[in-house]
A and B are shown apart, each in its own frame.
Chain A
């Protein structure tokens, strides 16, 4: 129990002193997961809308596979990306291994199924509502997708934030493809793993509390910016 208290104290000390290392890895965590979130959303949200409005033979199978991919172990994703990006691998010439870009790639792969699955579920309900109307107006496929994405944006934001949560707390994949190199690819979660491995539990917990606070702040900021939970205005 004392370790939890020590952890809180460590967190306090880190924050008050504006520890430069802490700022650096916190910023990098946000950068990696933030970019991954944007890229993943650009892939997953239109995919979710497409699956909702378009009927094709393998649709059910695709949705089932997407749901299943949510359970993909991040460390497995990391290994696969490592093998592909390794110098001895097919994309080795790109020299992306052990860079934040590799970490972003791994995180995109991990969070796309999550955002697409959750997004698809809510868009499906919305499509059921809009189906007759949009059909009667001769909308194109593209127009239907855009309408769903815009009108469903609240629920999609929740899906995206779920993806953010998964990404910001992820450690297995980015450890492998990033290498946890000091000042290059070290982020909050890999730093926590490192300190835990060194036996410095207080510092690890401190970093952990800071990470949680960071995630909460991001969520609050997004909600405030998009003015959700505000009466009658959209």
Chain B
């Protein structure tokens, strides 16, 4: 019987570095369904929030609690960074890397890897060195690499920043499929259009704190706070 990771709750969780508060204190509860989009102006702490929830940052205060053991949770998560990081290997070797890390046999991993490469449109390029891919191709690679282990939850930090329209469309299609298949998505984005397209829930950050949360339709139609309203209207909010 597989224990669910969710709900994820935080109590006063905070990350501080060199005297500055990067994010927090944050009190949140995330359910196990759908797509949560994190939005806010630059410097509001979107990346910091994601990294804190994922477990990449050391907490300076408070707690982040998964519904199951923390170690167990770590194994069922995946992260996609804003700037795609690829290993200096072939495309195929990159995609199967997470499978090899957990000890899946090579034959099995290669077969799965080829499937995913085809799914992301790199089926002909499996032996090409990943470092020569375009930015969009690298990000698709990163996404395939993250999804190949069938994570329960996928965190994405502005995955389509600096990608062109067609690449963004492809990535969003992949994300939609993943979500439909049951993967929980927590996505930070700058792109309000993308937020509207994908979100089930919204977390609006302002000055390193959660300023407002809500379900997507409610938030986008009528945000409660003035700053959220201003932000959605396109004003510069600080």
Tell whether any CB of A sits under 8 Å from a CB of B in the complex. yes
Q: Residues 139-161 of chain A: 1 if any B CB is under 8 Å from the residue's CB, otherwise 0?
A: 10001000100011000000000
Report A80-138 residues with CB < 8 Å from chain B CB: 126, 129-130, 132-133, 135-138
Q: How far is the CA of A132 from the CA of B47 in the complex (A)?
A: 13
Contact A138 to B87, CB < 8 A, known contacts A132-B81, A133-B81, A232-B132 = no
Q: Residues 85-112 of chain B: 1 if any A CB is under 8 Å from the residue's CB, otherwise 0?
A: 1011110000001100100000000000
User: Once the chains bind, are B87 and A234 in contact (CB under 8 Å)?
Assistant: no
User: Residue B119 at the A interface, CB < 8 A?
Assistant: no
Q: Residues 64-92 of chain B: 1 if any A CB is under 8 Å from the residue's CB, otherwise 0?
A: 00000000001100110100010111100
A231 to chain B, nearest CB (A): 10
Q: How far is the CA of A233 from the CA of B85 in the complex (A)?
A: 20
User: Once the chains bind, are B129 and A234 in contact (CB under 8 Å)?
Assistant: yes
A150's nearest neighbour on chain B, judged by CB, is B89
User: Residue B230 at the A interface, CB < 8 A?
Assistant: no
User: Residue B56 at the A interface, CB < 8 A?
Assistant: yes
User: Once the chains bind, are A137 and B98 in contact (CB under 8 Å)?
Assistant: yes
Most buried by B among A132, A133, A147, A234: A133
User: Once the chains bind, are A136 and B89 in contact (CB under 8 Å)?
Assistant: no
Q: How far is the CA of A232 from the CA of B89 in the complex (A)?
A: 11
A95 to chain B, nearest CB (A): 46
Of A129, A130, A137, A152, which is within 8 A of B101 by CB? A137
Q: What residues of chain B lie closer than 8 Å to A135, measured between beta carbons?
A: 56
User: Once the chains bind, are A232 and B56 in contact (CB under 8 Å)?
Assistant: no
User: Once the chains bind, are A130 and B87 in contact (CB under 8 Å)?
Assistant: yes
Size of the chain B interface, CB-CB below 8 angstroms: 18
Q: How far is the CA of A80 from the CA of B85 in the complex (A)?
A: 47
User: Once the chains bind, are B85 and A132 in contact (CB under 8 Å)?
Assistant: yes
Of A136, A143, A151, which is within 8 A of B87 by CB? A151
Report B110-139 residues with CB < 8 Å from chain A CB: 128-129, 132
B88's nearest neighbour on chain A, judged by CB, is A151
User: Once the chains bind, are A136 and B54 in contact (CB under 8 Å)?
Assistant: yes
Q: What residues of chain A lie closer than 8 Å to B90, measured between beta carbons?
A: 234
Q: How far is the CA of A130 from the CA of B130 in the complex (A)?
A: 14
A192 to chain B, nearest CB (A): 41
User: Once the chains bind, are A129 and B85 in contact (CB under 8 Å)?
Assistant: yes
B54's nearest neighbour on chain A, judged by CB, is A136
Q: What residues of chain B lie closer than 8 Å to A126, measured between beta carbons?
A: 88
Q: What residues of chain A lie closer than 8 Å to B87, measured between beta carbons?
A: 130, 133, 147, 151
Of A137, A138, A143, A151, which is within 8 A of B89 by CB? A151
Contact A143 to B101, CB < 8 A, known contacts A130-B87, A132-B85, A234-B89 = yes
Q: How far is the CA of A3 from the CA of B56 in the complex (A)?
A: 66
Query: Which residues of B pack against A, CB within 8 Å?
Result: 54, 56, 74-75, 78-79, 81, 85, 87-90, 97-98, 101, 128-129, 132
Supply 18 A–B pairs (Cβ within 8 Å), ascending by A: A132-B85, A133-B81, A133-B85, A133-B87, A135-B56, A136-B78, A136-B81, A137-B78, A137-B97, A137-B101, A138-B74, A143-B101, A151-B88, A151-B89, A152-B88, A232-B128, A232-B132, A234-B89
User: Other CB < 8 Å A-B pairs besides A132-B81, A133-B81, A136-B81, 10 of them?
Assistant: A132-B56, A135-B56, A137-B98, A139-B101, A143-B101, A151-B87, A151-B88, A152-B88, A234-B89, A234-B90
Query: Which residues of A pack against B, CB within 8 Å?
Result: 126, 129-130, 132-133, 135-139, 143, 147, 151-152, 232-234
List the 5 shortest-distance A-B pairs measured between CB atoms, nearest first. A136-B79, A133-B85, A151-B88, A138-B74, A137-B98
